[in-house]
Structure 1
Amino acid sequence: MHKRTKIISTVGPSTNSSTLLKKLYDKGMNVIRINMSHTSIMDMRKIINEIKALNKKITSSVGVMIDTQGPEIRTANFGKDIELTKGDEILLVSKSQKKKNQLIVDNLSHIKGLKVGGKISLDNGQIDLKITSISKQGIKCLVLDSGIISEKKHVNFPGARIKLPTLTDKDKADLNEALNVGIDFIALSFCRSAKDLKELNKFLSKNNCQPEIFAKVEDQEGVKNIREITKNSDGLMIARGDLGIETDMTNLPYVQRNMVKIASELGKKSIVATQLLESMINKPHPTRAEVSDVTNAVYEGADALMLSGETSIGKHPIKCVQYLRDISLNAERSETLHFESNLKHESDWHTLAATSVKLAKKIDADAIVVLTRSGFTAELISSARPRVPVFAFTNNRATQNKLSISSSIENIFLNFSKDHEKTIKNAFQVLKGAYKFKTKNKLIVISGVFSDIFADAIQIRFLK
């Protein structure tokens, strides 16, 4: 069966080898994510080069996504763990004051808008604090949950404003190195407005490489500006970790559904991320609730699903991808999914893409074949949510990699001949060889690469 929903796997100690990356691909991985909050420049280069080597051996290709660290607030390096007990008081400080019950937090002075009675969350929401007073000495808090806090753990200030640039100096240094090696996607952490995206685009304009940009919306300000953020990006990453802390957790499913819907309406891609199969970091099988969570993300129309700790530090990374693939395949069988009806016909091109998808359904075609240089044709057809696989053949390696994240698409490199018919025949040979298509399979063939118009040929063909 053909999987329409794409899978993004975060690479880490559990998967940082060429052998394991190939196994992830074999089980259904389409894109690898490198989280620069936890990855060195040296390791990043190594991972990207391993993916490049893998792509030379496979028919479709794996895309590479760099996830910026962004303006994160974390606990400092303070040595041994600190035990917090419910009911205790603790003082958050920016540097050690040699007092008892203190917690050193990096960049604390850059947090604005804190109020007495407000909440602070430690370690991705594991421990909550209540602000009791604010002074020059620091932020005094009441511990609401017992627990142990270690160094370099996330600290969230729901409702407050971090007065740090979304694109930090570290991010720029990381991206310069990544762009030199070659990447396909950037996930911009803590994107709060269109201004953040314009700043990133300005930075990228100085480089020849132009990756697609996915905005990670992780706080209340980002949710408030979601439409302008979506319009100015290539897609959204719904980062449910910080988002579930910065906003009301009980409202998170609605926020997720609305963000996927807005992305679809504006013709942009969406990625649902964080804790999809969290229990599998340690256990060999997901919970029933996790299976339902993944299924709902597919029902909502997400283009891609992302695994984080499950594949970076988990005990069962290969099984995680296999489970995500199988859950997606089962969810995609639902007869209630009619995403093509939501596509807005903003131009003749959109109408043609939607018509092609409806034609494939009407004649019961086995697949749609697209010949494309820029990927534009294939992207439009992907956004129309076809039920059959879309085989996008391109003679551009960068285009091939960028199509790795587009739903329904198998991204394939093919040298184009000056002879239109010869190119189509060569594409058909790939289908018969790598994808086991048989004679008399019915195909919709769309091509715009032999003229200056969007599509100079839309044909119904039978494989010979």
Structure 2
Amino acid sequence: MHKRTKIISTIGPSSKSPTLIKKLYDKGMNVVRINMSHTSIADMKEVIKDIKTINKGVASSIGVMIDTQGPEIRTANFDEDIELTKGDEIFLVSENLKKKKQIIVDNLSHIKGLKVGGKISLDNGLIDLKIVSTSKGCIECLVLDSGKISGKKHVNFPGAQIKLPTLTDKDKTDLSEALKVGIDFIALSFCRSAKDLKELRNFLSESKYQPEIFAKVEDQEGIKNIKEITKNSDGLMIARGDLGIETDMTNLPYVQRNMVKVASELGKKSIVATQLLESMIDKPHPTRAEVSDVTNAVYEGADALMLSGETSIGKHPVKCVQYLRDISLNAERSETLHFESNLKHESDWHTLAATSVKLAKKINAEAIVVLTRSGFTAELISSARPRVPVFAFTNDRATQNKLSISSSIENIFLNFSVDHEKTIKNAFEILKSEYKFKNNNKLIVISGIFSDIFADAIQIRFLK
């Protein structure tokens, strides 16, 4: 059964072997995410090498996403956990000031705009602090929630400004190494403005690889600039961990829905991420609330759903992907919210793509087949949210991989022939051999770019 919603799995200690990656793929994974906050360059290259090997033996290839660390503020790398009790006084410091109870925080001096009475969150919101006073290199706080804090945990300052570049020196080093071996997507952490995206594109301009860029919007500044960020990116990642801290948690579902809506209306892709099946890091089954959460993301029309700790450090990585696939398939039986209905048609190709989707529904076609070199035509069809599978055949490996993340698309490599009919015949043979299509299945066929010639055509064809 065809799954329209794509699945992204974060690779880590629980899933980094080639055998497990292939099992994730077999259960429905489409893209692997490598989180450079927790992955060495050597491990990153090893995972990419394994993906390339797997891709040689599968029809629809796996895409590779690098997630930058960005200007993160984290606790320092200390050995022993620090016990915090509600009502305690605690000092956040930039260096060891030998306070009775202190937590050293990296990059603390780059936080501006702190206010007495404001909130600070530790470890993705598990522990909240209230600001009592501030001085250079030191913030006195009152502990609002009891708990333990360990080294290298997130520290959030809702409403404050981080005076650090979005693309850090570490990010540039990581990306430079990743580009040497080839990647398909970059998730730009803590993207706050269109300027951040332009800086990344300038950095990538010399590379032979041109990955798609997904903006991770994680704070109030990013939300404020959401339309400009979306216009200048290839898609949005709704990173709900930091967003749920930077904004009122009760407002997070609205923020998510609005971001998916903005992306759909501008013809860009969207990824819903963070804590989709969080309970399955330890438990073998999701909660009913998690199932409903995932279902709502599918109803909203997100292109992809992303697993983080569930597949990187969890006990049941393969089962998580299987659950995400099954939840998606069940949710896809219902209509989406159709945010794409407000998508503007900027060219004849936009109109052609939207028409193909409507035609497929009108005549009950089994699928849409598109021949494309750059992926442009296939992406436009995907953005129109067809309810039938879209088989995108391309003779470009980079295009094939980039289509791995687009809703509804099966991304397939095919050597194009100068003879148009021969190319279509070869595509049909793959549909029969790999995807169990049968003779006389009704298809919509769109010819994009083949043999260096534009062929603008939409046809109703029967499989032979």
**TM-score, normalization by structure 1:** 0.98
Moved over 6 A (4+): none
Q: CA deviation at 1:454?
A: 5.8
> For residues 318-397 of structure 1, what are the structure 2 equivalents within 5 Å?
318-335=318-335, 338=338, 341-397=341-397
Partner in structure 2 of residue 258 of structure 1: 258
Contact 2:367-2:389 within 8 A present in 1 as well: yes
Contact 1:183-1:211 within 8 A present in 2 as well: yes
> For residues 90-109 of structure 1, what are the structure 2 equivalents within 5 Å?
90-109=90-109
Cα distance in 2, alignment partners of residues 219 and 336 from structure 1: 27
Q: Provide the aligned length of Structure 1 versus Structure 2.
A: 464
Partner in structure 2 of residue 287 of structure 1: 287
Partner in structure 1 of residue 15 of structure 2: 15
Cα distance in 2, alignment partners of residues 79 and 372 from structure 1: 54
Residue segments in structure 1 that go unaligned for 5+ positions in a row: none
Cα distance in 1, alignment partners of residues 455 and 219 from structure 2: 42
Partner in structure 1 of residue 461 of structure 2: 461
Residue segments in structure 2 that go unaligned for 5+ positions in a row: none
- 1:120-152 Cα offsets, whole Å, 9 max, x none, are 000000000000011235100000000000011
Contact 2:261-2:339 within 8 A present in 1 as well: no
Amino acid aligned to 2:446? I
- Of stretches 97-106 and 175-184 in structure 1, the one that deviates more from structure 2 is 97-106
Cα distance in 2, alignment partners of residues 340 and 108 from structure 1: 42
Amino acid aligned to 1:113? G
- 1:375-429 Cα offsets, whole Å, 9 max, x none, are 0010000001111100000000000000000000000000011111001000000
Partner in structure 1 of residue 447 of structure 2: 447
Q: CA deviation at 1:336?
A: 5.9
Cα distance in 1, alignment partners of residues 401 and 155 from structure 2: 35
Cα distance in 2, alignment partners of residues 137 and 42 from structure 1: 35
- Of stretches 327-336 and 452-461 in structure 1, the one that deviates more from structure 2 is 452-461
Q: CA deviation at 1:348?
A: 1.4
- Partner secondary structure for residue 460 of structure 1: strand
Q: CA deviation at 1:92?
A: 0.8
Partner in structure 1 of residue 51 of structure 2: 51
Partner in structure 2 of residue 37 of structure 1: 37
Contact 1:343-1:354 within 8 A present in 2 as well: no
Amino acid aligned to 2:188? L
Amino acid aligned to 1:72? E
> For residues 9-408 of structure 1, what are the structure 2 equivalents within 5 Å?
9-136=9-136, 138-335=138-335, 338=338, 341-408=341-408
Cα distance in 1, alignment partners of residues 239 and 339 from structure 2: 23
Q: CA deviation at 1:453?
A: 7.5
Cα distance in 1, alignment partners of residues 453 and 250 from structure 2: 48
Amino acid aligned to 2:403? L
Cα distance in 1, alignment partners of residues 236 and 445 from structure 2: 30
Q: CA deviation at 1:207?
A: 1.5
Q: Does 1:427 align with 2:427?
A: yes
Contact 1:377-1:454 within 8 A present in 2 as well: no
- Of stretches 228-237 and 136-145 in structure 1, the one that deviates more from structure 2 is 136-145
Amino acid aligned to 2:436? K
Q: CA deviation at 1:99?
A: 2.2
Provide the alpha-carbon RMSD of the alignment.
Answer: 1.2
In structure 2, relative to structure 1, the CA distance for the partners of 1:79 and 1:450 (3 Å cut) is closer
Cα distance in 1, alignment partners of residues 371 and 450 from structure 2: 9
Q: CA deviation at 1:35?
A: 0.1
Amino acid aligned to 2:276? L
Cα distance in 1, alignment partners of residues 137 and 356 from structure 2: 65
- 1:51-101 Cα offsets, whole Å, 9 max, x none, are 000000101100000000000000002221100000000111111112211
Contact 2:270-2:303 within 8 A present in 1 as well: yes
Q: CA deviation at 1:347?
A: 1.9
**TM-score, normalization by structure 2:** 0.98
Cα distance in 2, alignment partners of residues 202 and 450 from structure 1: 30
- Of stretches 200-209 and 339-348 in structure 1, the one that deviates more from structure 2 is 339-348
Q: CA deviation at 1:448?
A: 2.4
Q: CA deviation at 1:304?
A: 0.4
- Partner secondary structure for residue 279 of structure 1: helix
- Partner secondary structure for residue 9 of structure 1: strand
Q: CA deviation at 1:335?
A: 4.1
Contact 1:349-1:454 within 8 A present in 2 as well: no
Cα distance in 2, alignment partners of residues 59 and 386 from structure 1: 21
In structure 2, relative to structure 1, the CA distance for the partners of 1:22 and 1:92 (3 Å cut) is same
Amino acid aligned to 1:125? G
Cα distance in 2, alignment partners of residues 38 and 393 from structure 1: 35
- Partner secondary structure for residue 83 of structure 1: strand
Cα distance in 2, alignment partners of residues 120 and 290 from structure 1: 27
- Of stretches 234-243 and 336-345 in structure 1, the one that deviates more from structure 2 is 336-345
Cα distance in 2, alignment partners of residues 416 and 255 from structure 1: 43
